Structure 1
Amino acid sequence: MSLRFIKPMSPTLVEVPPTGPNWIHEVKYDGYRTQVAIERGTARAFTSTGINWSSTYKQIVGAANDLAESAIIDGEAIVLNEAGVSDFRSLRSAMRWSPGRIIFVAFDLLHLNGVDLRRLPLLERREHLLELIGAGDGMIQYSHHVVGGGADFYAAVDRLGLEGMVSKRPGSAYRSGKTEAWLKIKCYEEHDYEVAGVQRKPGSAPLALMVTRDAERRYVGSANIALTKAMRERLYQRVQAGKGTPPKGADKVEGEWIKPGLVGRVKTLKREAKLRHATLRGIREE
C-alpha cells in the first residue's frame, strides 16, 4: 500500500511551560514543518499542508532514501546561523541560493516498514526514531528532549536566543490536528513603537503598521490589533483623521497612514530584526 501524507499533529500555543515530570520538552526550531515519506528506497518531502517539496529539499530526500524500506518521519526543515541557532530568514535564503545548508530535524516517527506507529506512546515512537536515524549531526538529525523541568528548560531556551520550546505528553498517541497533549511556548518580548498606520483588507484581520520611535521612523512590520474597545476606538479616530505619510521602508505596504504621535506597546518574538507573531497590546499619546 502506498504511503500517503498524514496531516500533522499540532501543538497548542500557551503562555507558560507546563510543570511536573509527566512532560518532555524539546527545542522549537524556527523553520518549516516537514514530513519525509520513504517507500522502496525513494523519499519524498511534504510541507505541513501536503505539498510535495522534494525538489526544494533534494539533499534531505537524498539522505533519507536508504534509511528504511518504508517510513514516515515528522520534523522541521531548518538552517542554522553562525551562532548555531535555527534562523527562519536564513532558511528562506538558503532555499533559493544554498539548499545544501538545509537540514531536517526529526522529532516523530509515524510509520516504519509497513507498521503504523501512531497509536504507540510518544516515547516509544521516539525510541524507534532514534534507532532509525541515530544521534549524529548530518543532513537528518534527531531532536533531543529532556524530561520534566519545564520552567528551567524555558529559561535556557530564552537565554540561548531560541524561538521557544515544545512540551509533549510522553504517553500521547499521534493524532492529526491541534492537540493539548503537545504545547508550544514562544519567547516574546515587549517594546514601544510608533503606530504609523493601519492596514485593512477585506476578509483579513486589521493590522497595525509600526515604525521606530526616532527621527528615522523606520518601518519594522505589522502587528495584530489586540486592544480594548476604548483603545481601538481611539486608534480608528486617528485613522479617520489621516494626515500621515508612508514611513521609510514601507513604500510597498498598503496602509492608512496617521499623523505621528501615537505610541504602541507591541509583543513580538525576541531577537528579530522585524516584528514576527506580533500583537499591539496598548496605545498612548506621545
Structure 2
Amino acid sequence: MARPTTPKPLLTDSATPARSRPRKPRDPAQPRLLLDPMPSRVEPCLALLTAKPPKGPKWSYEIKWDGWRGAIHIDQSGIGILTRNGHDWTRRFPTVEEGVRRLNVGSAILDGEVVCFDDQGRSDFNLLQKSLGGPRGKRVAGEAAFVAFDLLYLDGHDLRNTELSTRRHLLEALIPAGDPIIRFSEDFNGDPDEFFEAACTHGLEGIIAKDRNSTYRSGRLGDWLKIKCVASDAFVIVGYEPSAGAFGGFGSLLLAARKAGQLVYVGSVGTGFNEREASALRKMMEKIPWKRKSPPVPYSGKRQVVWQQPTLIAEIAYRGWTGDGKLRQSSYKRLREQQDDAIIFDLDSFELTKLSERS
C-alpha cells in the first residue's frame, strides 16, 4: 500500500505529461475551445452498506475514513469547502483551505473527507467534532486535514462521465506527495478479506469497495460499497424513557429510521452514555420547542415514553437486526447533526442491498 514517491503523469495522448496549472490568458490567435461549465455543487456518490467486501477485478478498495464528507471547489473566485448537504464551511477549516492553496491547479472539484487524526494516524470523528466545539459547536477546526478520493472537475473539464480509475489517476498526480493536509486516499488491490481484517485489527471503521470502471453517479446506487468493522449508523431520536436513577434522567432513547419516506420505530438504546454526555443530551431534549402526546412513529409498546419532535440525530453502534426489524445490541456513540452530513438510516436501501447479496 506504499505510495510511489514520484507522482504519475496525467493521462494524455501527447508524449509530454500534462500538468495542471492556473490558466494563462487566451491567445486570440488560437481557436476558442469549448470548456465544461463548473458545477456550483455536485450531489455526492454514496456507498451502500454491505456485510462483506465484493470480489473481482473490477473492484478497488480504500480505507473508510471517519470524518465529514466534503467537496473542495477551486476556481478563479477562490476556494470553497462544502459539506455533503451543501453547507459552506470554508471558514471552519482554515488548515484545509491553506493546504488547497498549495495545489497547482486553476479550477477543480475534489471529493473526499475532512478528518482529524489521532496519535496513531487513524481518522477519528470524535476528535473532529471536539475540535469544532461539540455537536453544535461553532469553533474553527485548527487541526483538520482533507483526504481526497475522487476528482470531479479539472481545469475546464467535467470528469463525472470518466471512469473512476482515470479520475483517481488524475487526482493522485494533482496532490503533492507527502502533503500533511491534503492527502490522497490510497487504494488496495489485493485480497479484500485480508484488507478488511487488517482495517478492523488496526481499529479503523472499515473499508470502501469501488467499481473502478464506474462513472460518478450521485446517490446510493451500488457503484461504491461500504463494509464496516462494527455497524454504526444515524437514527433520529423520537422520545426517551424517563428514569430518575439513570444518567441524565432517562433510561433509554427511542429511535427511528426511514422507510418509504416515513419514520418507523427501530428500537431503543440505553447504553454507551457517560454522565456528561447524558446530562448534555437531556438539556438538548428539554430545549426542543414542543413535546408530543402521541408518538411520531407507529408504536405498540407499553413503556412510559416522553415523545419528542424528531429533531436530534444520534450515531448508534449495533450488532445487527432482530427478526421484527429492531436494532440488536445497540450502543450510543455520539450526537450528530444534519448540517454535519448525518443521513438518517434508510431501511429501503439496506433491504435492497441485502436482496442483491442473496441474488
TM-score, structure 1 normalization = 0.71
Which residue does the alignment assign to 2:160?
118
Aligned match of 1:73 in 106, 110, 114? 110
User: In the TM superposition, what are the counterparts of 1:81-230 in structure 2 within 5 Å?
Assistant: 81-96=118-133, 99-188=141-230, 196-197=251-252, 199=254, 204-206=263-265, 207-211=267-271
Distance of 2:125 and 2:221 partners within structure 1: 24
Change in 2 beyond 3 A, CA 1:78/1:116: same
Deviation, 1:135, is 3.1
Q: 1:200 to 1:51 in 2, by over 3 A?
A: closer
Match of 2:301 in 1: 236
CA–CA distance in 2 between the matches of 1:95 and 1:275?
13
Distance 1:51 1:189, change over 3 A: closer
Aligned amino acid, residue 144 of structure 1: E
Superposed displacement of residue 209, structure 1: 3.0
State the distance in 1 between where 2:213 and 2:330 align.
34
> Deviation at 1:132?
0.4
Give, in whole Å, the separation in 2 of the partners of 1:28 and 1:2: 28
Identity of aligned residues (%): 33
Cα displacement string for residues 184-232 of structure 1 (whole angstroms, at most 9, x for unaligned residues): 0111179xxxx9445378x7443413137xxx9x97x9xxxxxxxxxxx
Find the residue that maps to 2:198 and give its secondary structure. Answer: helix
Q: 1:211 to 1:51 in 2, by over 3 A?
A: closer
2: distance between equivalents of 1:59 and 1:150? 33
Indicate if the aligned counterparts of 1:21 and 1:149 stay in contact, CA closer than 8 A: no
Quick one: distance in 1 between partners of 2:42 and 2:149?
15
Q: Which residue is equivalent to 1:255? A: none
Q: Output aligned runs, 1:251-262, within 5 Å.
A: none
**Could you say if the C-alpha distance between residues 86 and 49 of structure 1 is closer, same or farther in structure 2, counting changes exceeding 3 Å?**
same
Question: Hey, which bits of structure 1, 4+ residues long, moved more than 3 A?
Answer: 195-198, 203-207, 272-278
SS at match of 1:10: coil
In structure 1, the residue matched to 2:82 is: 46
Distance 1:88 1:200, change over 3 A: closer
For 2:53, the equivalent position in structure 1 comes to 17
Give, in angstroms, the shift of residue 94 of structure 1: 1.4
Contact 2:38 2:158 in 1 (8 A): no
> What's the CA shift for 1:139?
1.0
C-alpha distance in structure 1 between counterparts of 2:51 and 2:119, whole Å: 29
| Inter-partner Cα distance in structure 1 for 2:186 and 2:205 | 16
Contact kept, 8 Å, 1:29 with 1:78, in 2: the verdict is yes
- Structure in which a larger fraction of residues adopt strand: 1
Distance apart, 1:147 and its partner CA: 1.3
Cα drift, residue 36 of structure 1:
0.1
What displacement does 1:41 show?
6.7
CA offsets 1:255-282 (integer angstroms, 9 cap, x no match): xxxxxxxxx95156xxx8669999xxxx
Tell me if the contact between 1:43 and 1:62 (Cα under 8 Å) persists in the aligned partners.
no
Instruction: Give the Å deviation of 1:27.
Output: 0.3
CA contact (8 A) 2:68 2:114 kept: yes
Q: Deviations over 1:13-59 (max 9, x none)?
A: 11111122321000001100000000027211000011111111122
Which residue number in structure 2 is paired with residue 266 of structure 1?
329
Equivalenced residues, count:
236
Cα deviation code 1:51-95 (max 9, x no counterpart): 111111122122213521000000000001122211111001112
When the two structures are superposed, what TM-score results if normalisation uses the length of structure 2?
Answer: 0.58
Whether the 8 Å contact between 1:36 and 1:72 is mirrored in structure 2 is yes
Relative to structure 1, the CA distance from residue 186 to residue 69 in structure 2 (aligned partners, 3 Å threshold; closer, same or farther) is same
1:35 maps onto 2:71 in alignment: yes
Residue type of the alignment partner of 2:74: I
Indicate if the aligned counterparts of 2:112 and 2:148 stay in contact, CA closer than 8 A: yes
Q: In angstroms, what is the RMSD of aligned CA positions?
A: 3.5
CA distance in 1 between counterparts of 2:175 and 2:195 reads 25
Q: Determine the C-alpha separation between the residues in 1 that align with 2:78 and 2:231.
A: 44
Unaligned stretches of 5+ residues in structure 2: 1-36, 134-138, 233-249, 257-261, 282-298, 306-326, 337-343, 346-359
Gaps of 5+ in 1: 222-232, 245-263, 279-286
- Matched residue type, 2:114: A
- Cα deviation digits, residues 144-199 of structure 1 (max 9, x gap): 00114111111001100001110001111111111211100111179xxxx94453
Q: 1:200 to 1:63 in 2, by over 3 A?
A: closer
